[in-house]
Amino acid sequence: RATDVDVKKLKVNELQKRGLNTRGLKVGLIERLQAALEAEKENKSFLNDSILKK
């Protein structure tokens, strides 16, 4: 899963900004953050599509 940001280099602060749980193994934290980033990307894409269709 490629994202615009290298998730492995991000800090726990990035999880906190998104209101995500910051406890657990690094692998779990990375997966949690990747999922959040993908959801944000999809939301932005959806919003952009909605605005352009109006």
CA distance 20 to 32: 8
Answer for the pair 20, 7: CB distance below 8 angstroms, yes or no: no
* Residue 23 CA: distances (Å) to CA of 1, 13, 49: 22, 12, 35
- Read off the pLDDT of residues 17-34 as tens digits, 9 standing for 90 and up: 999 999 999 889 989 998
Give residue 2's pLDDT band: very low, low, confident or very high (50, 70, 90): very low
Domain boundaries of the chain, sorted by first residue = 7-53
